Amino acid sequence: MRVAALAGGVGGAKLASGLEAALPDGGLSVIVNTADDFELWGLHISPDLDTVMYTLAGIANPETGWGIKDETFDSLGMLGEYGEDTWFLLGDRDIATHVLRTERLKKGESLTAVTGGLSKALGIPSRVLPMSDERVSTMLDTPYGRLEFQEYFVRRGQRDEVLGVELRGIENSRPTGEVLEALSGAAAIVFCPSNPVVSIGPILAVPGMRDALADSSAPKVAVSPIIGGKALKGPADRMLSSLGHESAAAGVARMYAGLVDGMVIDRADEGERAGIEALGMRVLVTDAVMRDEADRARLAYEVLGFAEEISGSSGRSG
Amino acid sequence: MRVAALAGGVGGAKLASGLEAALPDGGLSVIVNTADDFELWGLHISPDLDTVMYTLAGIANPETGWGIKDETFDSLGMLGEYGEDTWFLLGDRDIATHVLRTERLKKGESLTAVTGGLSKALGIPSRVLPMSDERVSTMLDTPYGRLEFQEYFVRRGQRDEVLGVELRGIENSRPTGEVLEALSGAAAIVFCPSNPVVSIGPILAVPGMRDALADSSAPKVAVSPIIGGKALKGPADRMLSSLGHESAAAGVARMYAGLVDGMVIDRADEGERAGIEALGMRVLVTDAVMRDEADRARLAYEVLGFAEEISGSSGRSG
């Protein structure tokens, strides 16, 4: 069984690692948001690709979900001694990733090829795929002014109200051949519990991506990143509200209406089942919080089972 | 008193730090070989500039003379995990230097400006000056084939016989305005005990450098890097021999004939005094080995005193 997952950072990476554990080696392709990529000290940093890659390689920092475990920060300390503003926490091992990525991109390799090479070297059996090889930048309008995503997210600690989102460059992006292949060959497509605005949103906004999803006959299942009205991690809840969406599992479902066949929601949101079903979606109510690796695998099995159930009931040969 | 010193890596940096200690703040300009600069993983590495800079900043590794003390190597370890050949020992703090240098050069800053910025941030009172802002590459002919300097020096551990030296790009290089100013304003010019072929040699080979030295009326004094026929560090002795020079203080003196007024040699080489004086040079015999900081300062005072003596005796107003 081949599965394609759409993912942003920490939450998406967790479910992706559960899916990897649940599938035979090579069965999983993770299509990752790259709209929060940015340059720092001339290095090309892809925060979501890194988080997915480190998580699937089993080297992610278990405390934070991002970065590398047992990381040191001597490079960053030295950058500070040189008078640099060290707002973005670059670990020493992490820097190696950015240095290699930057060098290989400069040499003309695509981000897809670079990511494939790095993932393979780390022993990852799944395919980690940037949503696009073109550069897209998430720009956020806030009362503080216009902010690049990482400035909002890391530098200013997500304290600004998000009033608007621009995906700069999205019109010139397109899904890579690898992404299209992953989608067309998938027996199930999973929207991971990532921020629907700034993680899954940019993936869906790549011109041609929605068509590719529509063309696939595979069941499509989304896992809500909002539980009890709150994001488990990050600013998705406040961002949904300030952008006029509902910070609720049903609100996420509405954003995915017409795109997914089923929503996986937490027991805390049982009450939203009817509202989501009214959108024409099937609903799986379960424990959607991933506290540890066992949770990730369990949730992944449930998601895959749910997809299979949808596939069977709709007569699809997923 | 303003002093200009010509230096390569470890040996040169040691005397430069002694000179800095012996002079009032801002009195020293170190003109540094950059012909062994190279690119690794897209980073612009300037080994000699770094050694001089770290030494003058008081953060050099006292065991090796190069690199930073208490350095960690997690980035390099990760580069190894990515399958990279980690023959060049890049420390985590050291990488910060290369990342910033690379970024600033890409932005259009000159190597001189970049080095000035980094040195200032590290609190160095002296001026650390690349010999030139143009790229020069030392290529060595060996029985193993043609090698870039760092390949010969680090990767292959200096085990190959050096049969020829090419300074690629030297014809397009020129001394920077800062270098010319340092030379013209100096009351003494010191050739540090660096390799005369691949450290001092490239500096002297920059078109216009010998003229600038000749135009200066300051006494010029060289400290022999060869003691008792051997290089204290590095392959200078073998390199001198294989290239047809004499691996001796007198051999070094011959290479600097017409350029310097005096040679500082070790007591072990007292027997070479007459031969060197026959070249028209004054000779200072002293303890030329720098074991610790006290040695560096002592040797620096002696070198400056020797220069002053030469200046006085020749009627120069140094």
Q: Answer yes or no: are the C-beta atoms of A73 and A90 closer than 8 Å.
A: yes
Name the minimum distance, in Å, from the CA of B72 to any CA of chain A: 7
DSSP one-letter code for B155: I
What tokens were used for A46?
A: 């892809």
- Please report which helix (H) or strand (E) contains residue B150, including its range: helix B149-150
Bridge partner list, B145: B142
Indicate the SS3 state at residue B175.
strand
In angstroms, what separates the C-alpha of A267 from chain B's closest C-alpha?
41
- What residues of chain B lie within 8 A of the CB of A102, using their CB? 42
What is the spatial distance between Cα B27 and Cα A54, in angstroms, rounded to a whole number? 50
Strands (E) in chain B, as ranges, are: 3-7, 28-32, 38-40, 43-45, 127-130, 137-142, 145-148, 164-168, 188-191, 220-223, 226-227, 230-231, 262-266, 282-286
Only one residue has tokens 């990529």, namely A37
pLDDT score of A245: 94
Sorted by sequence, the CB contacts under 8 Å of residue B69 that are 6+ apart come out as: B59, B60, B61, B62
Average per-residue pLDDT in chain B?
Answer: 95
Q: Which domains can be identified in chain A, with CATH numbers? A: 1-313 (3.40.50.10680)
Select from A45, A84, A85 the least CA-distant residue to A67.
A45
Q: What is the pLDDT of residue B312?
A: 87
Alpha-helix residue ranges (DSSP H) falling in chain A: 10-22, 47-56, 74-81, 92-106, 111-121, 149-150, 177-184, 200-205, 209-215, 236-242, 249-255, 273-277, 293-313
Cα B38 from Cα B44, distance rounded (Å) = 6
CA angle A84, A88, A89 (to 5 degrees): 105
Short-list A133, A204, A179, A221, CA closest to A29? A179
Question: Touching check for B124 and chain A: CB below 8 Å?
Answer: no
Q: Give backbone dihedrals phi and psi of B273, rounded to 5 degrees, phi first.
A: -50, -50
Between CA A269 and CA A264 the distance in angstroms is 10
Identify the CA nearest to A62 among candidates A77, A51, A74. A51
- With CA atoms as reference, the chain A residue closest to B83 would be A121
B123 touches chain A (CB under 8 A): no
Backbone angles phi, psi at B296, to 5 degrees: -60, -45
CB B93 within 8 A of CB A74: yes
3-class SS of residue A1: coil
pLDDT at A316: 46
Total residues found in chain A within this entry: 318
Lowest-confidence segment of B24-28, B112-116, B151-155 by average pLDDT: B151-155
Residue in B99, B105, B107, B124 to test binding to A, most A beta-carbons within 10 Å: B99
SS3 A64: coil
Answer whether B121 touches A (CB < 8 Å): yes
Q: What is the token pair recorded at A137? A: 């930048």
Query: What integer pLDDT is reported at residue B233 of this predicted model?
Result: 83
- Give the mean pLDDT of B92-115: 98
CB contact under 8 A, A74 and B92: yes
pLDDT 10s digits, B259-271 = 999 999 999 999 9
Distance in angstroms (rounded) separating the CA atoms of residues A192 and B25: 60
Contacts of B102 in chain A (CB under 8 A): 42
Measured over the CA atoms of residue B150, residue B152, residue B154 and residue B155, the dihedral's sign is positive
Please tell me the predicted confidence (pLDDT) of residue A234.
Answer: 87
Predicted complex ipTM: 0.92
Q: Given this model, what pLDDT does residue A313 score?
A: 80
- pLDDT, tens only, A140-194: 999 999 999 999 998 999 999 999 999 999 999 999 999 999 999 999 999 999 9
* One-letter identity of residue A275: G
Dig out the tokens for B315 from the structure.
């009627």
Residue of A nearest to B40 (CA): A103
Contact flag A102-B74 (C-beta cutoff 8 Å)? no
B81 touches A: beta carbon within 8 Å: yes
**Helix (H), strand (E) counts: chain B:** 13, 14
Which tokens go with A187?
């027996």
CB contact under 8 A, B95 and A84: no
Binary contact (A74, B97; C-beta < 8 A): no
Average of pLDDT values for B78-94? 96
Contacts of residue B284, Cβ cutoff 8 Å, sequence gap at least 6: B221, B262, B263, B264, B265, B302, B303, B306
Q: Which residue has the tokens 């400035």?
A: A151
- How many other β-carbons are positioned within 10 Å of the β-carbon of residue B214? 11
> Does the beta-carbon distance from A96 to B102 stay under 8 Å?
no
User: For the residues B13-33, what does the mean pLDDT come to?
Assistant: 97
Chain mean position to CA A271: 26
B83 touches A at CB < 8 Å? yes
Residue B318 pLDDT class (50, 70, 90 cuts): very low
Element of type H or E holding A188: strand A188-191
B106 → chain A, closest CA residue: A42
DSSP-derived pairing of the beta strands B230-231 and A3-7: unpaired
pLDDT at B136 over 50: yes
Mean pLDDT confidence for B238-254:
95
d(CA A286, CA A220): 17
- Count of CB atoms within 10 A of residue A255's CB? 17
Q: How far apart are CA A79 and CA B102, in angstroms?
A: 13
Going by pLDDT thresholds of 50, 70 and 90, the confidence category of residue A317 is: very low
What is the per-residue pLDDT across A256-272, written as a single tens digit (0 to 9) for each?
Answer: 999 999 999 999 999 99
Assess B86–A contact: CB distance below 8 Å, yes or no: no
Q: In this prediction, what percent of chain A has a pLDDT beyond 90?
A: 94
To the nearest whole number, what is the mean pLDDT of chain A?
95
The token pair that represents A278 in the structure block: 């009214």
CB A92 within 8 A of CB B72: yes
Question: Hey, what are B200's tokens?
Answer: 């001092």
Q: What are residue B60's phi and psi, to 5 degrees?
A: -70, 150
Q: What is the pLDDT of residues A199-256, one digit of tens each?
A: 999 999 999 999 999 999 999 999 999 999 999 888 999 999 999 999 999 999 999 9
Q: Which residues does chain B have within 8 Å of residue A41's beta carbon, measured at their own beta carbons?
A: 99-100, 103
Q: Is the pLDDT of residue B315 over 60?
A: no
Contact status, residue A221 vs residue A306, Cβ threshold 8 Å: yes
How many CB atoms are closer than 10 A to CB A294?
Answer: 11
Non-local (6+) Cβ contacts of B24 within 8 A are B1
CB proximity under 8 Å: A 52-71 to B = 68, 71
Supply the pLDDT for residue A233. 83
pLDDT (0 to 100) of residue B314: 66
